[in-house]
Amino acid sequence: MSKAKLFPILKVDGSKQRADTALSQDIALSLRDLILSGQTIYPHAAEKLSLTIGDGEEKTIVELGRSQISNWVQRGNVIPETGQSMRDFIEECREEKRVQEHRAMVDQAEAQFKRTLHLDTLQPVVGKFGVMKDKETGEVIMRENTRLLEIQMKTAEFVTERLDPNHYGKVGKNENKHLHVFLLSDLRKAEEAMEAQREKERSTV
């Protein structure tokens, strides 16, 4: 019975890749997991990466040094199972990580925006002797917190412009100033002021 013919693995430049190169798809996927978790795949010179390859009883521990991973990239080595170069694979993983981080940042900003848009800007008036009440009805006197109202209006305008810029205005040259950062900073200051006001109310009861 004849043996199956083994085709050589070629590097990016077309040269033959050494058969004893340890690079495999399992190793590449383990490096991807490290990148997505925010860890480095390039350890210090005296250290090694310890990768667990496989599942169940078939687990194998592979140790990789900094120079070994760097050589795969610099020499144009490819992942044997896919033919993709390690340089392209690592760059794809890093881009995937950047997309994940951006999505997480957007999700956090959206949650903050929703919280801002649902702020209760109507608050009780606090005088020298605590919460003020109407002498005739006995009801607590309320008034708009103009600072919170301003934050709420700016947030609504900011979100609306980006949802429909053609109808509600276009994003100008200040896009890179990250307006939501300033809005959220203002919101935190306003919330701190609200908490201080609550403490004052509790102390006068």
What is the predicted pLDDT for the residue at 2? 44
Domain boundaries defined on the chain: 25-94, 119-204
Question: Angle 110-114-117 (CA atoms, 0-180°, nearest 5)?
Answer: 135
Amino acid at 40: T
Q: Let me know: does 146 contact 186? Beta carbons within 8 Å.
A: no
Question: What tens digit of pLDDT does each residue of 159-200 get?
Answer: 666 655 665 555 444 444 444 444 555 556 666 666 666 666
Q: How far is CA 156 from CA 109, 112, 177, in A?
A: 13, 12, 17
Note the pLDDT of residue 185.
58
User: What would the pLDDT profile of 102-142 be if each residue is shown by its tens digit?
Assistant: 888 877 777 777 777 777 778 788 877 788 888 888 888 88
Alpha-carbon span 44 to 65, nearest angstrom: 8
Euclidean distance between CA atoms 192 and 198, whole angstroms: 10
Percent with pLDDT over 70 in the chain: 73
Q: Which helix (H) or strand (E) holds 62?
A: strand 60-65
Give the per-residue pLDDT at 9.
83
- The pTM (predicted TM-score) of the whole model is 0.59
Q: Span 72-87, mean pLDDT? A: 92
The confidence score (pLDDT) of residue 20 equals: 63
Structure-token pair, residue 108: 């956090």
